[in-house]
Every structure is written in C-alpha cells, then in structure tokens.
C-alpha cells in the first residue's frame, strides 16, 4: 500500500539528520530513506546551477527507492531548487524555508528576526522573501555562516573554536535586538547550544527541520498516507563515506545505525 512506502529525505551531509531525528519522534510509524550527498558537500558555497543539478540527482535516487514523499532537508537546496523540483517531479516534495519562516513569524513579538545560513541560502534571499510575504513590516537581519558546516561535519560541536567562530559571526546580530533567530541550515541544530549561548537565552531559535516534519505529518494525515508500521526501517545512503560520519550521526541520533551504504548517483 502506498502509505507503507518510506519517506525520502536528502541533504548534502549530516544536516538532514536533524530532520530525521524529529521525524522519528513525530512520525513513529514511518520508514525513512536518507541520502547524504557527502561527496559533493558543502553545497552552500557552490553556484545555484550546481546545487540544482545535485538536487535533481538526489531526487531521482530517492524516486528509484520508491518513496511516497520527499523532504529536501537542506536549506541550500530548498532555496535554489525546490520550485524546479516540484515542477519536474510528480511527487509531494517539501522544503524547509516556508515552514521555518511561518514558525518564526508565529514566534516573534517585536518583529525583528535573524536568519543564518549558508552563503547560497542567504544570497538567494529566500527567507527574507518568505518572511516579508507573511508580514511586510518584519525587520530581517541575515548573515551567512559558512564555517559552521565544516566544523559540524568534523564533529567539532563543543570545541572552543566553534564558540569563537560563532562569536565572530553573531556578535553584530546580538546587537540588533532580534527576538527570533532562524537556523536556516539543517546542520546548525547540531550546534544549537553554541548558538543559543552566543545569542543569549532571550532569543528563540527556530529549527526549520522541526517545522517541516510537522508539515509532512499534516500532509500525510490529510491524504490518509500516514504509515503505522510497528517496525519502520531507516536506511542511510551516502555518496562518500567519511570515517567519522557514522560515529557523529549515531551520537546525534542517540542510537545505532544498522544500515548505511555508499552509493554512486546516476547508477
Ligand atoms: N545542510 C545544508 C543546509 O541546510 C547545507 C550544508 C552545505 O553547505 O552543504 O543548507
């Protein structure tokens, strides 16, 4: 039955696991096929043309795995490619920008919202546009933080260097009196504690991965596609197998990964 098919999730690397973690909590009966395009990471420093090509390859791979819906668990791909993916492929595809923006808009009291993300995401102005379309009066402060992704992929989630880098990136943002900060990169929740400490307790951090999981749940419910599998499976595919991936991923997910396979896209 269609409802028993897995949900496909892709990112350039570890970041999409922040979405998987939420999905596993929120959608306990769903099986998940995860694709991390680690061979081509990072996406955030690449041209839009390349990111669109990578996103198409990832989507085609997941379609071959017979998924019922796809989550683009990457802000960089969502910002550059979501529209094109939806036009091209006949399957429900969810990105992270719209749900994250909506959640930030619901959360802010003073209308001052910060957005951090990769260079490509910030350059695309996708969050700025999405937020302004909700309320033209929002004041938005955006900052690209390109060093966060390599630090996280390296497993440096608690090192002093990571706090120092966060201080350099975020000290100006702290002065803007924002009350809400969108983590506009799915990698960033892995250093949520660092970002929260740097910004202070009063700033509410928005994890767009959480919002998209909720959107997916509502969609699956509405179309009677929610799976109720007592033994869902979680399969992880990578285009390259960095030594540390499994260890960092298991630490973050808080459980063992049984199935992980290196693949070549286009096969
Ligand atoms: N996790 C991805 C995102 O949400 C990007 C990481 C990268 O630069 O590859 O934007």
Query: How many Cβ atoms sit within 10 Å of the Cβ of residue 90?
Result: 8
Identical fold, 7-95+210-262 and 97-208: yes
CA distance 51 to 12: 10
Tell me which residue of 44, 30, 233, 76 sits closest to 151, measured CA to CA. 44
**Active-site amino acid positions:** 74, 185
Range 97-208: architecture per CATH: 3-Layer(aba) Sandwich (3.40)
Task: Let me know if 231 is exposed, middle or buried by CB neighbors in 10 A (0-12, 13-18, 19+).
Answer: exposed
Which of 82, 149, 189 for a ligand 1 pocket mutation test, highest count of atoms within 8 Å of Cβ? 149
Query: Where are the domains positioned within the chain?
Result: 7-95+210-262, 97-208
Which of 79, 124, 186, 188 for a ligand 1 pocket mutation test, highest count of atoms within 8 Å of Cβ? 186
Alpha helices (runs of H) in 69-180, residue ranges in sequence order: 75-88, 97-107, 119-124, 126-134, 148-153, 160-175
**Ligand 1 atom closest to residue 16's alpha carbon, by position in its atom list:** 1
CATH of domain 7-95+210-262: 3.40.50.1860
Q: Chain-wide mean pLDDT for the chain?
A: 95
Helix (H, G, I), strand (E, B) or coil at 185: coil
pLDDT of 137 higher than 70: yes
Going across the sheet that includes 93-94, the strands are: 93-94, 69-72, 7-11, 32-36, 234-238, 259-262
pLDDT of 1 higher than 90: no
Q: How confident is the model at residue 242 (pLDDT cuts 50, 70, 90)?
A: confident
Contact between 30 and 232 under an 8 Å Cβ cutoff? The reply is: yes
In this predicted model, what pLDDT tens digit does every residue of 83-126 receive, in sequence order? 999 999 999 999 999 999 999 999 999 999 999 999 999 999 99
In this predicted model, what pLDDT tens digit does every residue of 41-86 receive, in sequence order? 999 999 999 999 999 999 999 999 999 999 999 999 999 999 999 9
CA distance 111 to 114: 10
Between the CA atoms of 42, 47, 48 and 53, what dihedral angle is there, to the nearest 10 degrees? -70
CA distance 117 to 69: 25
pLDDT at position 267: 58
pLDDT of 266 higher than 80: no
Confidence (pTM): 0.94
The residues lining ligand 1, judged by C-beta closer than 6 Å to any ligand atom, are: 11-13, 15, 41-44, 74-76, 117-118, 121, 149, 185-187
pLDDT of 135 higher than 90: yes
Report phi then psi at 73, rounded to 5.
Answer: -85, 45
pLDDT cut 70: percent of the chain above it: 100
């Amino acid at each position: 039955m269609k409802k028993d098919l897995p949900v496909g999730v892709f990112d350039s690397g570890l970041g999409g696991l922040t979405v998987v973690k939420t999905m596993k909590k929120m959608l306990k009966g769903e099986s998940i096929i995860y694709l991390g395009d680690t061979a081509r990471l990072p996406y955030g420093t690449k041209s839009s043309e390349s990111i669109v090509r990578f996103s198409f390859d990832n989507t085609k791979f997941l379609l071959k795995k017979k998924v019922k819906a796809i989550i683009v668990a990457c802000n960089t791909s969502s910002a550059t490619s979501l529209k094109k993916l939806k036009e091209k492929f006949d399957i429900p595809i969810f990105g992270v920008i719209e749900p994250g923006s909506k959640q930030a808009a619901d959360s802010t009291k003073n209308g001052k919202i910060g957005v951090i993300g990769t260079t490509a995401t910030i350059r695309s102005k996708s969050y700025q546009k999405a937020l302004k379309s909700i309320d033209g009066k929002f004041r938005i402060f955006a900052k690209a933080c390109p060093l966060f992704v390599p630090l996280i992929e390296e497993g440096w989630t608690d090192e002093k260097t990571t706090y120092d880098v966060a201080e350099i990136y975020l000290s100006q943002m702290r002065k803007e009196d924002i009350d809400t900060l969108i983590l506009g990169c799915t990698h960033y929740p892995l250093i949520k504690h660092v970002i929260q400490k740097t910004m202070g307790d009063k700033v509410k951090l928005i994890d767009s991965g959480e919002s998209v999981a909720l959107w997916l749940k509502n969609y699956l419910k509405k179309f009677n596609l929610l799976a109720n599998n007592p033994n869902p499976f979680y399969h992880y595919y990578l285009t390259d197998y960095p030594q540390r991936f499994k260890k960092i991923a298991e630490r973050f997910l808080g459980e063992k990964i049984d199935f992980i396979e290196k693949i070549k896209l286009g096969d």
